[in-house]
Structure 1
Amino acid sequence: MQQLVECVPNFSEGRNTAVYTAIADAIRSVRGVNVLDVSADPDHNRTVVTFVGSPTDVEEAAFRGIAKSAELINLDHHEGEHPRIGATDVCPFIPIRDVTIDDCIAMANRLGERVGAELGMAVYLYGNAAKRPERETLSAIRKGQYELWKSEVETNPDREPDFGPAKAKPWGATVIGVRPFLVAYNLYLNTHKVELADKISRTIRFSSGGLRYVQAKGFLVDGQAQVSMNLTNFEKTSIPQVQEMVRREAARYGLTITKAELVGMIPQKALMESAKYYLQLDDLVMDEQVLEYRLQETETEADSTPYAFLEAVASKKPTPGGGSVAALAGALAASLAQMVAGLTVDRKKYAEVQEQVTAVLDEATSLREKLTLAIAEDAAAFDAVMAAYRNKELSASEREAQVQKATIGAAEVPLRVAQHSHQAAQLAADVAKIGNINAVTDATAGVLLAQAAVETAVLNVKINATSVNNKQLIASWQQDMDKLTQETAVLVQQTKAVAAERGGFA
């Protein structure tokens, strides 16, 4: 199953639709990321974007969102009900499937370092990723909000960021971290007296002696008092428990709850536990009694055949074409190397090669993701060439310059595919020698697929080179192509011999 990480960045803009839409679009621009929800609140002047994907894709999407927010949001001109310290106020990673807390901590550190270095932004780590105990809670980092941070960051050692410069910038700082699934949940009261919502919030929140795993604060929203809450562990402090405590506290002041509001996403399990509580289904021990759950359990695993891609290639449209297919073949080669390595690690029989196989596993994972992205990149590069030829608004010389630039780009994509595929061939060849003997032919298949990817990608470089005027650049490409094809061919012959010997069919 695909690894899944959720990211729920909070951006300090909830009133200007163009701004928060542009930020969400920057996140969506990463292929493989699924934006599940964009929740804008004009009173809080804050937007919460929820998206999921593989660790690599989510990390890249988070960076693009942070970069776009720094470009569009100026905290010197920002006002809102919600506390904030930066344009991207907080950016948490949440492990969802086949991903550990430690994996997400590594993501937070990589992203924090990149944001600090490339964007010149102060970055603080919180939650499970915190480097200092006092920074585990978001409220501690955000104390005094942007205004106090701006006045202290350059002089107060306690404000020294974990990454990036200790400089006051109009986009403020960002707080990146790792946490379990959080439920953002608000309850409205039949009063405009926000001080009563504050009193109730102080009673229920953990920091004031209330319920564990509950953060709460009172706000006035659309003329109605609101108890705004974050439930940081809904399995240990449930939604019904919080709801009933707010209800009892509100009754002390002659108030009632008029409505509830959910910000962002909520796990199905949280709703199931609430249903059990309020419907008094004490005997509903197994979720198998719920029709949808039972159907999910009985369904067979989804067919992984890439029908959509095959149909797209088979259509009359020029893209995706040979270049995209080459990238797919390279990605499959890396996948096979990754699979064989995965079947080898942590096996006693192969204890002596654990370090080498683990390195193959990590490198193959990275190559697979790069080559997968290249499937779309190749098609986009071809489309860019066609767009340059059709651009009638440019003069002849301007159009020729644009065509040359686009054609070079269209050649460089398959050249990268050839390079990455050669690397995949090398990894598959390496793991064929030392990996699980039962999968030696799978590793060999990876080398053969990688050769097909290299040869096909090279053809695409050559056909594009015929339209490029830069002879020196073409010569450089040719040198690379000759080396890649020759070295990959050698790997094929060597690995076939290894497979025959280890497989017993020599």
Structure 2
Amino acid sequence: MSASMLYCGKVYISGARNKPALESIERAAKMFPDTAIVNKFDDETYNRVCYTLVSKSTDSLKNAVFSMFNAAYEAVDFDQHSGTHPRLGVVDHVCFHPLGSTSVQQVALIARALAKDVGSILKVPCYTYGAAHKDQRLLDAVRRELGYFKPNVTGQQWSGGLESEVLPLEPDEGPTQVVKAKGVVVIGASGWVVNYNAPVFCKDIGVVRRIARRVSGRGGGLASVQSIALVHDDVIEVACNLVEPSLVGVDQVQGAVEQLGAEAGVTVGKGYFTDLSPDDIIQTYFKMISSGQ
């Protein structure tokens, strides 16, 4: 089969500890046979899960993701959520990426259609970014305005719903007030983004925050790299988004974290990916479709 026209969606949900909820969400996606969950990355410390879905049909992919939204809102109460990873809602973030010869503009149409449905039918405030937004605004810009990067309780935890029902930034779709049990969602479209986390064996969050900032393009480090320091069990991870992985790769990110760690007198471990590569995703999809999974 040709991989010339495939569409990918990553769905990030705030909840990795509630197994019955995840089973319900996964069943919802499997109602659409042209779409497959090709990867699942869940982390109980972060209390966050990412599903990578692929389809040869834009309608099937959009409907599968919408069905996951519906199941998630029924099974998860955002006001009761807590974890060491920042989040804005039960379904925190959805990003669509082109695979093969598919264009970013094509997946942007899926993102905008999904945002419209989630806002109008499920009554959840939706913010768009990247190619799905008229001004091509960046994901981290939306998150920054909504207070995403600031823990709201002690111990570097994000806990409960948004503090105010009145949103500081007007959503692109949906109501202007938020229901705490659901939160809000950010939906976008872009080229491929690599998620890579490097562990730092240090208990001082301030030290690792300085490393994370200096690694990032925003902090004068590697262009097109976004990074944040997150507590994860016995280490603190420098969690990175590589927005242009063909220009700045994981070897450069790993090397930068190690160099900055050495300057700060802390040990840095080998990082890890949270998803498959685009080629592996395509191969996995076709294997699943051919086997009827």
1:82-161, aligned counterparts within 5 Å? Answer: 82-132=85-135, 135-141=137-143, 143-145=146-148, 148=162, 150-153=164-167, 156=168, 159-161=169-171
CA contact (8 A) 1:4 1:97 kept: yes
- In the TM superposition, residue 205 of structure 1 has moved relative to its aligned partner by 0.7
CA-CA distance at 1:195 after TM superposition = 2.3
Residue 4 of structure 1 contacts residue 53 of structure 1 at CA under 8 Å; is this kept in 2?
yes
Aligned-partner residue type, residue 25 of structure 1: R
Q: Which runs of 5+ in 1 are unaligned?
A: 270-295, 297-301, 310-506
Name which structure has the greater RCO, CA cutoff 8 Å, separation 6+.
Answer: 2
CA distances 1:241-279 after superposition (whole Å, capped 9, x unpaired):
11111111011122222232221222459xxxxxxxxxx
Matches within 5 A, 1:243-282: 243-267=254-278
CA contact 1:125–1:162 (8 Å) conserved in 2: yes
What are the Cα deviations for residues 217-260 of structure 1, in whole angstroms up to 9, with x where unaligned?
Answer: 11221111211111111101111111111111011122222232
Residue 62 of structure 1, CA deviation: 1.0
**Could you say which residue in structure 2 is the equivalent of 1:23?**
25
Q: 1:52 aligns with which of 29, 54, 69?
A: 54
Q: Secondary structure at the match of 1:8?
A: strand
Q: In 2, Cα distance between the equivalents of 1:79 and 1:99?
A: 37
Match of 1:33 among 35, 41, 55: 35
Shift of 1:191: 2.4
* Closer/same/farther in 2, CA of residues 308 and 173 from structure 1, 3 Å limit: closer
Return closer, same or farther for 1:243/1:98 CA change in 2, 3 Å cut-off.
same
Aligned to 1:274: none
**Aligned amino acid, residue 168 of structure 1:** V
CA distance in 2, matches of 1:144, 1:254: 31
1:8 equivalent among 10, 13, 28? 10
The structure where helix makes up a greater share of residues is: 1
Contact 2:97–2:192 (8 Å) recurs in 1: yes
Query: Which residue of the partner structure matches residue 188 of structure 1?
Result: 199
| Equivalent AA in structure 2 for residue 190 of structure 1 | F
CA distance in 2, matches of 1:124, 1:225: 29
How far 1:141 sits from its partner (Å)? 3.6
Q: Secondary structure of the residue that 2:72 maps to in structure 1?
A: helix
Q: What is the aligned length?
A: 269
- Equivalent runs, 1:310-459 vs 2, <5 Å: none
TM alignment of 1:469-480, pairs within 5 A: none
Contact 1:85 1:149 in 2 (8 A): no
Query: CA 1:152/1:208 → structure 2, altered by over 3 Å: closer, same or farther?
Result: farther
C-alpha distance in 1 between matches for 2:224 and 2:20? 35
Equivalent residue number for residue 152 of structure 2: none
Among 72, 75, 81, which residue is 2:75 paired with? 72
1:189-268 matches, within 5 Å, as 189-267=200-278
Secondary structure of 2:269's counterpart equals strand
Residues 308, 122 of structure 1: CA spacing in aligned structure 2 closer, same or farther, 3 A cutoff?
closer
Output the CA distance in 1 between the equivalents of 2:163 and 2:113: 24
Q: Which runs of 5+ in 2 are unaligned?
A: 149-159
CA change 1:59–1:260 in 2 (3 A) is: same
Instruction: Kindly indicate whether the alpha-carbon contact (under 8 Å) linking 1:5 and 1:99 is maintained by their aligned counterparts in 2.
Output: yes
Task: Tell me by how many angstroms 1:8 deviates.
Answer: 0.5
Overall identity of the aligned pairs, in %: 26
Q: Are 2:212 and 1:163 equivalent residues in the alignment?
A: no
Q: Write out per-residue CA displacement over residues 446-472 of structure 1, whole angstroms, 9 at most, x where no aligned residue.
A: xxxxxxxxxxxxxxxxxxxxxxxxxxx
1: CA distance, partners of 2:110 / 2:31: 19
TM-score by length of 1: 0.50
> CA–CA distance in 2 between the matches of 1:161 and 1:190?
39
Distance in 1 separating the partners of 2:112 and 2:231? 36
Cα distance, 1:47 vs structure 2: 0.3
Q: CA deviation at 1:216?
A: 0.8
CA RMSD of superposed structures (Å): 2.4
Matched, 1:177 2:179: no
**Alpha-carbon distance in structure 1 between the residues aligned to 2:291 and 2:224:** 44
Q: State the alpha-carbon separation in 1 of the partners of residues 263 and 184 from structure 2.
A: 40
Specify the code of the residue in structure 1 equivalent to 2:250.
I
SS at structure 2 position matched to 1:15: coil
CA contact (8 A) 1:130 1:136 kept: no
Shift of 1:148: 5.0
Secondary structure in structure 2 of the residue aligned to 1:9: strand
SS in 2 for 1:31: coil
Which of the pair is proportionally richer in strand? 2
Contact map agreement 1:194 1:226 (CA 8 A) in 2? no
| Residue matched to 1:497 | none
How far does the alpha carbon of each residue in 1:159-183 deviate from its partner, in whole angstroms, 9 at most, with x for none? Answer: 2211111122120111111011111
Do the aligned residues in 2 keep the contact of 1:9 with 1:88 (CA within 8 Å)?
yes
Contact map agreement 1:45 1:79 (CA 8 A) in 2: yes
Flag the structure with larger Rg. Answer: 1
SS at match of 2:20: helix
For the 8 Å contact 1:90–1:174, the answer to whether it is kept is: yes
- Conservation of the 8 A alpha-carbon contact between 2:161 and 2:183: no
By how many angstroms is 1:215 displaced?
0.9
The 5 Å alignment of 1:277-316 reads none
8 Å contact kept, 2:32–2:64: yes
Which digits, 9 at most, give the CA deviation of each residue in 1:341-398, with x for residues without a partner? xxxxxxxxxxxxxxxxxxxxxxxxxxxxxxxxxxxxxxxxxxxxxxxxxxxxxxxxxx
3-state SS of 2:34 partner = coil
